[in-house]
Structure 1
Amino acid sequence: MRVPEVTYDLDRGRRDERRLRERLRDAVRIRRVTDGVPAGCWRLVAELPDGELVGELRAHERSLDLLYGEDLGDRREVVLDGVVVAPRLRLLGIGRRLVTRLAAETRRAGLPAVRATAEFGGIQFLLACGYRIEWNRPQALRLEHH
């Protein structure tokens, strides 16, 4: 028997919750905050129309000249400090929209890449957003004594 293209969920609570999440997802707007944010830093927020903050991304530039201690021609890169989304609105693409906006803004600013460090579910999230693991970079290791 063929599976129908549309099914009806008999649980009113689940239906209402799904509809609310879809409305909120469509209503979220992403904007960059510049007031009180130092130059070379990014603070992007995801807000509902009433101004309720439901997500945030922070990132900063760093100079590779300072990092490596030599003149590399004033090369800079961006480091992603973190992405958070309100628990009730996770898995709706809000975090991905924040990361995509950061990529667009850093590209416009002439910065070649965004680096990130992640753990747990953040790794899969960033991989899904197009990040790649750099195997030539330091990795976190741990030796437990038994």
Structure 2
Amino acid sequence: MVATYENQNAIASKYILTFGYGNRKNYDEFFSYLEEFNVVCVVDVRLHPRAWSRKWYGEIIQKSCNEKNIKYVSKAFLGNTSGNSNWIPPNDEEAAIALQEISEIAQTGTILLLCAEKKSYCCHRAEVALHLQKLVNNEIKHLG
């Protein structure tokens, strides 16, 4: 009985998830997390939603998410120009607007911030998640 209650609590909770696809060759883990946490929206926080593998191009991910009834949005203004984990957005004003837009989605359910770097502590998405958390107060979970 306790396990059922805990599972219901996890489903009812709203999270800010972060995930980096790294060198993954398929979507298995990615889609497993989307299902497990009942993600309502994938937010691509890459400055350029491209990758070494076309599988991780923004428009391909968007199509795959749409097939699973999950919203996908690319927010290039939440991308990083520093080249390391220190987040320097391309435009501070536009980044603030993008954070506000994403916070509205995050109030409706769990979102997942997607970037390339596999390790969250090496990626700017961890800092983006902290800024977003100040707006919505959802718990942050770094996945993968």
TM-score, normalised to structure 1, is 0.28
Larger relative contact order, structure 1 or 2 (CA cutoff 8 Å, min sep 6) = 2
Q: Which structure has the larger Rg? A: 1
Q: Which structure is higher in strand share?
A: 1
